[in-house]
Amino acid sequence: MSVDMLLEAIPPLLVYLIVGGVIGIESLGIPLPGEIVLVSAALLSSRHELDVSPLWIAVAGSAGAIIGDSIGYAIGRRFGHPLFDWLGRKFPRHFGPKHVAFAESVFTRWGVLAVFFGRFIALLRIFSGPLAGALKMHYPKFLAANALGGITWAAGTTFAVYYLGVVAETWLSRFSYVGLGVAVVAGLAIGFVIKRKTEKMADRYAEEQGISES
């Protein structure tokens, strides 16, 4: 079976459910590749013969982000900081002491702005809901920033990738996958650079505060 036939066999509803589900679970605080799933689905939607709608991908991504963060907020508010000790044992690469301390300093300083802009940064994205809840952030303010950030991130990413895919397919014809591949690699490279810079900021903060990973 060719790649085209395989892609055309994917039911659009399944694509939307996967996008919303993965992003929602990531927003709970479980490190899943939500951004990669969103970008991949948006690329699928640029192939018009697949009947995958970029609008519904954006809706699914936004809903997953908002609902997942809200559930994460409730969990964080209920269990507080001991939750991060448990997460640190389960996911030490993502919830180590330096990551928790750095994220908490950002959220304490910037409040709801950290919720909004945290949606665009992988390290902060998984902290947004649970940490806001643990810090007892006022829920209506959290929900407003969460919804605005989730919609901006999901819709913005979806339609940016969608139009890149349409342009690539229009101008590169049978070589469109090259253009799509370049777009994906560029997006992932930018995400990697931002993640590395955030990691270095977390390392620097941990060093200044004398925080050990052990």
The better pLDDT of the pair 62, 199 is held by 62
Is pLDDT above 90 for 178?
no
pTM (2 d.p.): 0.76
**CA distance linking residue 157 with residue 146, whole number of Å:** 16
Closest CA to 107 of 211, 35, 212, 205: 205
- pLDDT band, very low/low/confident/very high, at 182 (cuts 50, 70, 90): low
Q: What is the mean pLDDT of the chain?
A: 78
DSSP per-residue string spanning 99-167 = HHHHHHHHHHHHTHHHHHHHTTSHHHHTTHHHHHHHTT--HHHHHHHHHHHHHHHHHHHHHHHHHHHHH
Is pLDDT above 90 for 124?
no
Is pLDDT above 70 for 191?
no
How is residue 210 annotated by DSSP? T
- pLDDT band, very low/low/confident/very high, at 51 (cuts 50, 70, 90): confident
